[in-house]
Amino acid sequence: LDVYKPFKLQGEQIDGSFKHDGENYTFESKWNDKETACIDLYSFAYKIESNTLYPRGVFFSINGYTDEALNRITYNKKAQLVLFDAVDIIAVLEERITLKSLLDEKIRFAQTHSKIYVNANEILK
């Protein structure tokens, strides 16, 4: 992955971006003590859709996502992002899967099953 530093766009902080298989992705991370709620996912989805030519994003939440957030972000719309959490990072750090392979599988699930969140344990089954 080619990784790029954080930057700002007219009052918005972007945590970073990277290139994967020729595609650019905007990256957002949340290190909250609770699961990430709808508003954070909606905000990020809006950010990537309004600021990029071909919107793609990766959202990382250390403590995962509320059920409502997971259900609502894809309700009646095509979310152009994939979600990561601590389960994913642990799987990569334990070398059960590479980051590139995990990202490839998450993208495949999003494109073929309309699931923007599937964790590494499900992928490795």
Instruction: Give the other-Cβ count within 10 Å of 93's Cβ.
Output: 9
From residue 22, give the alpha-carbon distance in Å to each of 87, 92, 119. 26, 22, 23
Per-residue pLDDT of the chain (125 residues; tens, 9 = 90+): 778 777 777 767 777 888 888 888 888 998 888 999 888 988 888 888 877 677 789 999 999 999 998 888 876 566 688 999 999 999 999 999 999 999 999 999 988 888 889 999 999 99
Compute the 3-state secondary structure of the chain and give helix, strand, coil in percent, each to the nearest 5.
Answer: 40, 25, 35
Instruction: Give me the pLDDT at residue 76, please.
Output: 55
Nearest-angstrom CA–CA distance, 39 and 69: 8
